[in-house]
Structure 1
């Protein structure tokens, strides 16, 4: 489309004279070299950022707001003219020195630096004068919010109805070719300015201290030469912005409405002709030769003063820009509003602990999941071609909009993994995400750019924000529950993942493995193992089951925990994504090894396809584990040693081995009560809390668990047998008898007892520091692990006094702790698997 000819033809039909466009070279509308930063966006200047208002109800209100917009435009034009005048101020002096023996700039350089700037000044001077002359007769600005009544405001509204300005805007749109010439020349001009700034002190003094008036208040702003050269690039999009806002507040019956529509069409056609594949669309020249380029973008939740906002985050080579996406629905232009930005220079990242979720939050999230599931099921039932304007089509469209609203709410309230950003300027922001894999990708991307980055000139944030409309790589928030594509290649059913072990560590370390599954958000998709004891080849043998719908990828991360006493945070050692192919997964376990950088993890996968039940409106209540038979707890968790025992033992070994009086000293009762509640309601939250509380509270909750078992870990019916075994004088024969008795215990009791015994022996190995030898540990745990039978009315039992009972309880545990040939404990049920090597 020849936009310029269209504009000229239309102007001639309206009897509006058209001035010839100055400049040399090709037709300014033929080439596509328009920088991306000049893409239309409704966020441009503070003066144009009008507040959101409800639908206008009266013609007078609409006309009043139209006048407000026009006066704001007039003020903005005056500031821009002052900036152009300031830019042109040194042109005569530079031209004069060009013919001397020591020129600052050559004549050709002066022509390049100021190319088309006088024409731009003249173009906007005429526009400003014409608009001012038409607005002055209407008198000073009034605000309908403060002066809503009749009288002068009403008269002004009636005069405003007859005010026409469309011809002025149509004329300036027709001359956008002047800007095209400037844009084509811009990089050459900036190159000269930078070169001279570095080599000529006279020009540097000039280029770094140019003052321009800010409008009617006579205040002045200090600019650099380069910043002023950048103003026309910013200004060219304001024409479209102005037309958009003005048309919005112009009544349809107004004589300007049709003219403004045509001007807006021509302006948008000019912008749509931009070559979107040009590299300069993602790059803006910064100081010292740096190039600003968009590296990554995505949707995150910004936590500010307790509130949550779904924001679009843009990572450039020198800064982070946070914006809020508005609009973008069908038939509407996507809009961005600036939220905040942080320079990457000196930026510190902190991966904080997972935020706690209240009961109300859990219920709200599960309620949204259930509603999303049901709504998607209804939409799938109607996924067939229907007439575009039929009732069924309108019903489907309403359902899609409702689904989009639900998912946006879910995306806003479900993330709880915080990434804290701390700038040297004392500005801090917290982003929360729902995926550790995504969080680590952001952290890695930011970390790669924060090395030697030095920002010397603040960015033009308004222009940078306006570029987001076309620069974004993530087109929309990940609202995908209504998309049917690729479902035949995804998983729907139960995916089981067993994390076995890891190897490849250079030195012993404490770590855990996180597992994430993608797909629709209807069910829980994340899990993590407990922390391993410091080891170069940790073992977990922990199994997880996921209800998956639309899953295509499994993400695995290995996270290193800091050593005791270190102030650093958890660190991701490696991560990988495994593609889930339904054709290759089986209903039996399939073992494979995956490489995550230097660490190699062995895991097993099993997939059972089946229809899924709808998620409940209320979160599924976890079965309590305290005061419950240990066999029932282990069966529920699919293990041989309950998670509460393993988690507490591993946490004590991580940071309590040198704690004086560990297992003997008590902790705050409130800490232990809170931990008990957490283990009874949410294992994941309990594991997080273990890492934060006093280590004596960790040892205290472990003792409490054994103490509150309805049946002791060592069955009561074996008490008398243990008493007799203790009377065997030969130590070797006694050991054989004791081990035989232990083998007669149920598998869960036996392996849990062995797991605890090996732990207590490791604690005793540090008795020179923690002052807890084997006898002290046996004294603490004996009464909890072994109990005498309770006398039943009417039944005779051998009389045993209480002091003797305690002696037996302590001696049994002490005897086992002295054994050198204790068998190893199995923590999980062995998996019958095939072995497959995969990297």
Structure 2
């Protein structure tokens, strides 16, 4: 038998067979579920969603569970390192023979720093095992009431700090990793003896079950291990009371671990380039998960953006012992690539119902997991349901996005991507625009090599799933209200709307938009948007310009951190800097327990509803319908002959009425393309169908009496005094309308609508007696006389040159002075 085979057989019998532990638990395979979940896995131990309300005893019990899980996973990791060392020694022994499998230099390259890593983790494992064993003996010998004290005495912070201080060894391993893998691949192709070894490496478990790994998969284990260290330290710190002696050491270990990973990430950024022909270099710019739709079927895909092309792949979890892989889906060269995004994509009704059912199930399942903080149902039940929750969130990520990005290549190929966030879509679109603006040389890529490299080059490790995260105690749970007031800094007049998004669990709607303003340099909305939030930590704000028949343009965007300490139940006004645009808004936050998500909340109707109720629902003093119609008439109807006298078609008015009763944003979009006479007609119809007239009926007789005052100024003083006694919403809406009609009358030489003409049109709609046709004593009133009173009252108001200004929105009281937040 060859020396190589002899050395390998000897080392297998001496080392591998002695390794113990439960090999069924592979801490790096997400689908692995055992009697105890490793804290290094993506599914961490079942902590409560927040530990702030836990007793110290509960926290220390959780800490002990974490430490035992770490010990088990360390044992598995040591067996993996032992497997590498076994073959390293065998290969090194054969290198000194006349027929070496590999040269000494190749062995050194492949197994660089592995022995040193083994020493560090063996020392850590031995120390942790000894302390946990001593603690277990103390628990068995102590009375029940002394267990708490025993848990407090267990200290391991120094062990973790010592281990983290040796992370520099991983720096060398990571620097050498690509060289090691390259040697393994080349030798596997050229050397049959090495191929046999590299493709079938065995690790024995405590139950004598052998698991097969490839050499390349085992070499990847240290990379995964070092990236999981931070997660372990977070779990430990979360379960360690602040006053415990371990807290400071674990905090420092976490800081050092995060610092090390940051340094590795920065160093690896410069190595994300792929060499091409003709001296060109291809570099990965960004990547992330998107929804790709093909022939009506949606799929979650991993998108990689390089300097010259866009690569779409599907991620495939590898079988045990193998390395994860990416499969090629499609690619598009960036040269000549055209982009078009669509904001108004509607989901099919059946999809909306299914998503709502899915959200409800997710909410209830998460509640069950939250209530099972003591683990009464067992860790297997918890693991299974966390996996189920993860699968449901993946479905939600696949079918809920509504923002569509169409990609068109000069070759005729087209693809459609969907995003759940306008903010993320704009980041992708902005990056693509910057790259496609340059003259890009299109070189056909080696798709096999490029797709294979995705595992090493990826920046996004997996879809961002909230269900796998422990709830942060600083995240918000309750209702966040945002009142969008105005914007300034526009370079030219535009129809603008503001989009607000929040993060957190997707049980509730996370995105809302204002209506589109009238074309202006300083748009105003005073529109309130409200969100039910669960686990929210940030808010994204975008200012978007809307053009008829053209693609919307994002004028600016920013992110605001949501912190409960900086929010309160009172409105707080601030100004955000979104590029060159400033948006002024107010925010408030009301924390409370959330109920299961119900059916999408339908907007309450606005027609035939008391104006006070409509204004209260919208949080304004002048209803949005009135303001939107007035702004649209002033935008394109001031020179329309007979505006307000000539009505639009009944079908157009009916369509607009239905839209305002169901969806304000859709209604405003329809206003943009509707005949201007239909816009004026729907405004008149709104006032005509109010259950109570805009000018309260109890003022009818008093206003009629003021018409007997001959002096116009004295009459107006009396009429304005009477108006002050009317409710705030009625008064401000009436004043808002009067100012608008005065501006219309200023163009009477073109539109032929004088103040008297406008008073004749609006009088009967704005002012009515308590009971039409009757005096207060019950006597019959001449209808023609009633109309004269209605017209003359409105005409008198329109003749005033000093009408008070209308206040369109409610006052948003602030705890502090206005502040400008530059983001």
Would the TM-score normalized by the shorter structure come out above 0.5? yes
- Which stretch has the larger CA shift, 355-364 or 326-335? 326-335
Which of 467, 474, 479 does residue 481 from structure 1 map onto? 467
Which of 601, 607, 618 does residue 626 from structure 1 map onto? 607
Name the residue aligned to 1:67: none
Residue 532 of structure 2 corresponds to residue 453 of structure 1: no
Residue 689 of structure 2 corresponds to residue 702 of structure 1: no
Counterpart Cα distance in 1 of 2:98 and 2:764? 101
Name the residue aligned to 1:232: none
Name the residue aligned to 1:109: none
Q: 1:379 to 1:736 in 2, by over 3 A?
A: same
TM-score normalised by the chain length of structure 2: 0.66
Name the residue aligned to 1:490: 475
- Which stretch has the larger CA shift, 818-827 or 790-799? 790-799
Residue 215 of structure 2 corresponds to residue 266 of structure 1: yes
Residue 526 of structure 2 corresponds to residue 541 of structure 1: yes
Q: 1:480 to 1:121 in 2, by over 3 A?
A: closer
Counterpart Cα distance in 1 of 2:111 and 2:644? 74
Name the residue aligned to 1:255: none
Q: 1:207-236 CA distances to partner (integer Å, 9 max, x unpaired)?
A: xxxxxxxxxxxxxxxxxxxxxxxxxxxxxx
Residue 106 of structure 2 corresponds to residue 27 of structure 1: yes
Give the C-alpha shift of residue 396 in structure 1. Answer: 0.8
Name the residue aligned to 2:581: 599
Name the residue aligned to 1:367: 357
Give the C-alpha shift of residue 751 in structure 1. Answer: 1.1
Q: 1:410 to 1:9 in 2, by over 3 A?
A: same
Residues 471 and 535 in structure 2, CA contact (< 8 A), matched pair in contact too: no
Which of 719, 722, 736 does residue 755 from structure 1 map onto? 736
Residues 791 and 797 in structure 1, CA contact (< 8 A), matched pair in contact too: no
Name the residue aligned to 1:573: 555
Counterpart Cα distance in 2 of 1:310 and 1:405? 12
Runs of at least 5 residues in structure 1 that lack an aligned partner in the other structure: 34-119, 128-167, 177-239, 245-257
Residues 619 and 809 in structure 2, CA contact (< 8 A), matched pair in contact too: yes
Residues 531 and 650 in structure 1, CA contact (< 8 A), matched pair in contact too: no
Name the residue aligned to 2:565: 583
Q: 1:836 to 1:795 in 2, by over 3 A?
A: closer
Counterpart Cα distance in 2 of 1:32 and 1:781? 88
Give the C-alpha shift of residue 748 in structure 1. Answer: 0.9
Residues 514 and 665 in structure 2, CA contact (< 8 A), matched pair in contact too: no
Counterpart Cα distance in 2 of 1:278 and 1:339? 26
Q: 1:691-746 CA distances to partner (integer Å, 9 max, x unpaired)?
A: 45454444333333222211222223333444443454332223223323322321
Name the residue aligned to 1:676: 657
Name the residue aligned to 2:285: 295
Which of 511, 523, 531 does residue 516 from structure 2 map onto? 531
Aligned-partner SS, 1:308: strand
Tell me how large the CA RMSD over aligned residues is: 4.1
Name the residue aligned to 1:825: 806
Give the C-alpha shift of residue 567 in structure 1. Answer: 5.4
Q: 1:396-423 CA distances to partner (integer Å, 9 max, x unpaired)?
A: 1221122112212222222222233333
Name the residue aligned to 1:382: 372
Give the C-alpha shift of residue 766 in structure 1. Answer: 4.8
Q: 1:774 to 1:526 in 2, by over 3 A?
A: farther
Residue 535 of structure 2 corresponds to residue 550 of structure 1: yes
Aligned-partner SS, 2:467: coil
Aligned-partner SS, 2:731: helix
- Which stretch has the larger CA shift, 601-610 or 327-336? 327-336
Name the residue aligned to 1:420: 406
Q: 1:569 to 1:800 in 2, by over 3 A?
A: farther
Which of 696, 720, 737 does residue 739 from structure 1 map onto? 720
Aligned-partner SS, 2:797: helix
Name the residue aligned to 1:815: 796
Name the residue aligned to 1:130: none
Q: 1:669 to 1:410 in 2, by over 3 A?
A: farther
TM-score normalised by the chain length of structure 1: 0.65
Count of equivalent residues: 619
Residues 656 and 670 in structure 2, CA contact (< 8 A), matched pair in contact too: yes
Name the residue aligned to 1:285: 275
Q: 1:121 to 1:580 in 2, by over 3 A?
A: closer
Give the C-alpha shift of residue 7 in structure 1. Answer: 9.9
Runs of at least 5 residues in structure 2 that lack an aligned partner in the other structure: 1-80, 113-184, 202-209, 224-263
Q: 1:630 to 1:538 in 2, by over 3 A?
A: same
